[in-house]
Amino acid sequence: MSQVIGYEREGDIAVLSAQNPPVNALGVHVRRGLMAGIERAESEGAKAVLIYGQGRTYFAGADIREFGKPPQDPSLPVLCDRIEASPLLVVSALHGTALGGGLEVALSCHYRIAVPSAKVGLPEVNLGIIPGAGGTQRLPRVAGVDAALGMITTGRHVRASEALEMGVLDKVEDGDPREIGLTYVRDLLEADAPRRPVCDMARPTPIDFDATYDAVLKKGRGQLSPAIAVRAVQASCEAENFAAGQARERELFLELMASDQRKGLIHAFFSERAVSKLPELQGIEPRDLDRIGVIGGGTMGAGIATSALLAGFRVVLLEMTQEAAHAAKDRIASNLAGAVKRGKLSPENQEDILKNKLILATDYGALSGVDLAIEAVFEDIEVKKQVFAQLDAVCKNGTVLATNTSYLDINEIAGSTGRPGDVIGLHFFSPAHVMKLLEIVVADQTAPDVVATGFALGKRLGKVSVRAGVCDGFIGNRILSAYRTCADHMVLDGASPFQIDTALTRFGFAMGPFAVYDLAGLDIGWAARKRKRAAGLDPRARDSFYADKLCEAGYLGQKTGKGYYIYEKGKREGEPNPEVMPLIETERAARGISPRAFTDEEIVRRYMVAMVNEAARVVGEGIARRPLDVDVTLLYGYGFPCYWGGPLKWADLQGLPKVLDDIDTWSEEDAYFWKPAPLLVQLVADGRGFDDLNKES
């Protein structure tokens, strides 16, 4: 008997307990243990089998680390069929998260009971695959096609109470999973309840699968797995019998298992978990956090305060005037109302937060007791330095002093205090209470426990935190600046902003760069360009001015209703602004450029290669510790298509020699911009990829 599955007898009942921490993933030893447990129970003359998980959860799914490796018997579908076919009464008791293969094991049991806090789901599509052990065939039989598709195409986790209503669970009861399971099995035996194999249930009623497939494909913005899942569920209605439906599921599952999208999404899954694991933080205790100060209550300050309040912190928000403080409170109230609407906050808690947890202030003295202060005032180094000098004067010893600056030098900001070890960058993304990414920017003198406190705060706020070093734009905005420059060059040379946006959204980006400019406000880029020009541009750099002309005309994007696009009231998407192309054409003519045609493919390729090249520099310079830190930054902060796993995973999948070849070719037209990053050159010379660096770390 394998050690990862315990076997005991409770009278007529054989009890199989999973003991494979942390999440009882169904690796080969667990599968063998379950198989052996069922066989032993049958050979020993037990009447029933109870399966449950020890520790924090029932099985949370197949062992993702086995994906892409040679399969080892028994496979999960074979195991599930064997459980279902057992002549004994087989019951599962669920707690924690019964996900993917975990729920598939449960569905192959004859009855299912769960504790109220349990959640079930088939999240395989989020890993680029579909349920592969009968989930697409059994779930529609127990819950109907609509409910099954609702779970399988989104991967959402469903609470026990809802799963009970759907028929996925037979009973929900509070208590220890082993105990409630045993009582349930005894009741079933006493009532002489029959075995109830789902494979024997009638085929579910079909729906219009073609229409559903099209709708799901469109919603996935290029992600294939949810749409393919629709076809697998279709087989549960249309295949001749259960086995034929299962064979179709297997075929589709294996196709996706071999796909680049699966590789990208699995990379994203493990990278998201690896980002916060930094060797230098091992054994370092974060500082205690209870009260958070926020300085500046504009777009970002209000968002940061909302995020902290939603996580249960008390917040002191400092603004320049009473009026500004009240405006900030209105912004926070509106953010909280949104959280109530989305079911993330109860109306009572909303009221309690606004009344008791949020303190408004205009006097720095109010910040004397905070454990961490985050500054989100105007992006101006002198203003920031003044704010930090005041924080230094009033905050108690040990307060972490954080800045939300997008670009400014945090070493210089830290230098305006007498305690640079306490200063750190906490770069949130807009809207700060919604966006998952937090860049934790470590300055030269930041103390290790201050870094640990940044990560602890990120965790409490539900963020994905990435460590970054100090440079102009840190990881994300620095790379952004390179690929936007590439887009600007393509516009000068003949592509239109609208073609570029379309090509990139077809590639999978949530938005194209010009639509993003409009969303953020064209004045932000304008200010950055002015700043760079004032600092002195390299004469070889290609600058462009057409965007300045839009700003000078008062077109600042969505906030003014006009930018690259024109926005009708109430509509989020705009129509191309006809005044844009003439401005571009005038600039091309003035520069003597004869515009040429770009294919969508070339647009994507140049944009992506520019991104990869700058990302390689960011890693090479140690601004990002590992390639995966860049990948997670772009995935969670910049709308990068999740199924590519991030730009550096994309580059690995393309092959780095090809990426370098492109740079070499394009450097003939612009040797200044298309200069290969030393790390990229090195990796190609060594025949290695970015992921090799991830594995070394």
Q: Which residues bind ligand 3HC (CB under 6 A)?
A: 22-23, 25, 60-65, 76, 97, 99-101, 104, 123-124, 127, 131-133, 135, 273
Q: For residues 180 and 515, which CB has a smaller minimum distance to ligand NAI in the complex?
A: 515
Is 696 in the active site? no
Number of residues near ligand NAI (by CB under 6 A) = 24
**Could you tell me the smallest distance in angstroms from the CB atom of residue 387 to ligand NAI?**
5
Residue 62 contact among ligand 3HC, ligand NAI, none, beta carbon within 5 to 8 Å by kind? ligand 3HC
Q: Which two tokens stand for residue 279?
A: 């060797």
Q: For residues 124 and 629, which CB has a smaller minimum distance to ligand 3HC in the complex?
A: 124
Q: Which two tokens stand for residue 80?
A: 């599930």
- Is position 163 an interface residue for ligand NAI (rule: CB under 6 A)? no
Contact 302, 331 (CB under 8 A): yes
Residue 687 contact among ligand NAI, ligand 3HC, none, beta carbon within 5 to 8 Å by kind? none
From 180, 318, 336, 464, residue interacting with ligand NAI (rule: CB under 6 A): 318
Interhelix angle 476-493/580-591, nearest 10 degrees: 80
- Is position 481 an interface residue for ligand NAI (rule: CB under 6 A)? no
Dihedral angle over CA of 652, 657, 662, 665, nearest 10: 170
Residue 324 contact among ligand 3HC, ligand NAI, none, beta carbon within 5 to 8 Å by kind? ligand NAI
Contact 281, 455 (CB under 8 A): yes
Helices of type H across 553-599: 580-591
Q: What is d(CA 135, CA 130) in angstroms, rounded to the nearest whole number?
A: 9
**Could you tell me the smallest distance in angstroms from the CB atom of residue 214 to ligand 3HC?**
25
Contact 585, 433 (CB under 8 A): no
Residue 369 identity (one-letter amino acid): G
Contact 479, 518 (CB under 8 A): no
Instruction: Write the DSSP string, 5-56.
Output: EEEEEETTEEEEEE--TTTT-B-HHHHHHHHHHHHHHHHTT-SEEEEEE-TT
Contact 30, 56 (CB under 8 A): no
What separation, in Å, do the N-terminal and C-terminal C-alpha atoms of the chain show?
Answer: 36
Given the residues 84, 104, 375, 439, the one annotated as active site: 104
Q: For residues 77 and 296, which CB has a smaller minimum distance to ligand NAI in the complex?
A: 296
From 339, 387, 556, 680, residue interacting with ligand NAI (rule: CB under 6 A): 387
Closest CA to 201 of 139, 158, 121, 253: 139
Instruction: Write the DSSP string, 676-695.
Output: --HHHHHHHHHT--HHHHHH
**Could you tell me the smallest distance in angstroms from the CB atom of residue 568 to ligand NAI?**
23
**Could you tell me the smallest distance in angstroms from the CB atom of residue 87 to ligand 3HC?**
25
Residues 6+ apart with CB under 8 A from 255: 228
- Is position 405 an interface residue for ligand NAI (rule: CB under 6 A)? yes
- Is position 544 an interface residue for ligand NAI (rule: CB under 6 A)? no
Residue 405 contact among ligand 3HC, ligand NAI, none, beta carbon within 5 to 8 Å by kind? ligand NAI
Residues found in the chain:
697
- Is position 332 an interface residue for ligand NAI (rule: CB under 6 A)? no
**Could you tell me the smallest distance in angstroms from the CB atom of residue 619 to ligand NAI?**
22
Residue 470 contact among ligand NAI, ligand 3HC, none, beta carbon within 5 to 8 Å by kind? none
Helices of type H across 52-100: 76-85
Is 104 in the active site? yes
User: Interface residues for ligand NAI in 421-450 (CB under 6 A)?
Assistant: 428-430
From 15, 93, 148, 324, residue interacting with ligand NAI (rule: CB under 6 A): 324
Residue 358 contact among ligand NAI, ligand 3HC, none, beta carbon within 5 to 8 Å by kind? none
Element (H, E) at 89: strand 89-94
Per-residue binding string, ligand NAI, 263-302, x by CB under 6 A, is --------------------------------xxxxxxx-
Q: For residues 430 and 544, which CB has a smaller minimum distance to ligand NAI in the complex?
A: 430
3-class DSSP assignment, residue 607: helix
Q: What is d(CA 183, CA 201) in angstroms, rounded to the nearest whole number?
A: 26
From 404, 416, 446, 496, residue interacting with ligand NAI (rule: CB under 6 A): 404
**Could you tell me the smallest distance in angstroms from the CB atom of residue 299 to ligand NAI?**
4
Q: How far is CA 584 from CA 495, 557, 627, in A?
A: 10, 17, 36
**Could you tell me the smallest distance in angstroms from the CB atom of residue 386 to ligand NAI?**
7
Summarize as ranges the residues that interact with ligand NAI (CB under 6 A).
295-301, 318-320, 324, 376-379, 383, 387, 404-406, 428-430, 520
Active-site residue set? 104, 124
